[in-house]
Amino acid sequence: MDPILYSKYHHLQERDVNDFLLACASLTNWCNLTKKIVMDVGCGSGNTSCAWFLSLFLQVKRLIAIDKSEGMINLAKILNPHPKIEYMVADIADESSLECWEGTINKVISTWCFQFIADKRKAFRNVYNLLKPGGEAAILFEVDSPYHQCYRHIIESPKWSLNFKNKTLEYPHIYSENSSDVYYKQLLQEMGFTIVLCKKKQKTFAFPSDEDCIGFLLSVFSLHKKVPDECMDEFRSDLFQSFLLYGGRETSGRPVAYYGLMSILIRKPNITT
Ligand SMILES: C[S@@+](CC[C@H](N)C(=O)[O-])C[C@H]1O[C@@H](n2cnc3c(N)ncnc32)[C@H](O)[C@@H]1O
């Protein structure tokens, strides 16, 4: 991710975060959060999930916003400071970075983050351990998104591949080998979660302009910083052409992305005596 670009070009993500979190809040009655501690996992620059949460639930006791990228956390502290938000560097797939919050969180929210996690089973297990009994997690992530192939297309193209030599490990992998809701339902049930919602949906997003679409593409692809400044215009143009192969244009001409989203709302059961 490119923290600065993401903080500007996140309209696609913002739309889906709003829809998803509103649906979760109404499904499980997030009316009174006065004494509740909420954790935002993969908060990014704090513009979407954190900002959304506080605009609707200002009475929440505390919002712990974690991200594994120090760059994102530093930017979030500058762009979106708030007395109720505590920004911290932590990795949801690494339990050693989460120990201090174990069993203390009432709600976990995580949007547009889990697709970057290879070992989702481990990440879900850590979410379970973070939650108090009766706590809930609302998790939204991307699955099966054809437009992502445009990055691979560019990385492997004879024209640009030299710029990314030995850098492919930094490529923003989308790990969606298991992309069906049936798979996630079973996995989460086996872990002990109660499933409130687990559904995959196909989505489309039309960008207001070609410029916005290019900004979005670069924001997810921080490797673009390896391209020399004098070649940047050409690179942007090639990346966009590659996107159009996997996305396309609406009849009105606006560039459009097609992608899949997994919406998950789960609860850790209360302890029974
Ligand atoms: C696309 S941004 C999403 C930001 C925000 N939640 C939103 O909805 O716009 C994904 C963020 O997840 C973070 N991330 C990826 N893997 C992570 C992990 N294992 N633990 C914590 N954060 C992670 C990335 O650093 C990045 O800032």
Q: Convert 230-269 into a string of H (helix), E (strand) and C (coil).
A: HHHHHHHHHHHHHHHHHCCECCCCCEEEEEEEEEEEEECC
User: How much is the pTM?
Assistant: 0.92
| Range in 48-52, 59-63, 181-185, 265-269 the model is least confident about | 48-52
Q: What are phi and psi of 36, to 5 degrees?
A: -100, 145
Residue type, 163: N
Which of the four pLDDT bands, split at 50, 70 and 90, describes residue 268?
very high
Q: Specify the amino acid at residue 94.
A: D
Instruction: Give residue-wise pLDDT tens across range 135-180.
Output: 999 999 999 888 888 888 888 899 998 888 766 555 566 776 778 9
In the structure, which protein residues have their CB atom closer than 6 angstroms to any atom of ligand 1?
Answer: 1, 10, 13, 17, 41-44, 48-49, 66-69, 72, 91-93, 111-113, 116-117
Rounded average pLDDT over 127-135: 97
* Region 110-129 average pLDDT: 95
Backbone angles phi, psi at 244, to 5 degrees: -65, -25
Distance (angstroms) between ligand 1 centre and the Cα of 156 equals 25
The answer to whether 245 and 157 are in contact (CB under 8 A) is no
Q: Identify the residue whose C-alpha is closest to ligand 1 atom 2.
A: 44
State the DSSP string of 141-164.
Answer: EEES-GGGHHHHHHHHSTTTGGGG
- End-to-end distance of the chain based on CA atoms, in angstroms? 46
Strand boundaries in the chain, DSSP class E: 37-41, 62-67, 85-89, 105-111, 131-143, 194-206, 256-267
Question: Which atom of ligand 1 is closest in space to residue 140's alpha carbon?
Answer: 8
Please list the residues that pair with 204 across neighbouring strands.
258
Distance CA 36, CA 47 (A): 21
Q: What is the pLDDT of residues 40-93, one digit of tens each?
A: 999 998 887 788 888 888 889 999 999 999 989 999 999 999 999 999 999 999
Report the C-alpha gap between 122 and 221 in whole angstroms: 25
State in Å: Cα 66 to ligand 1 middle: 8
Distance CA 214, CA 212 (A): 5
Contact assessment for residue 63 and residue 85, using Cβ atoms and an 8 Å cutoff? yes
Q: How far is the CA of 116 from the centre of ligand 1 (A)?
A: 8
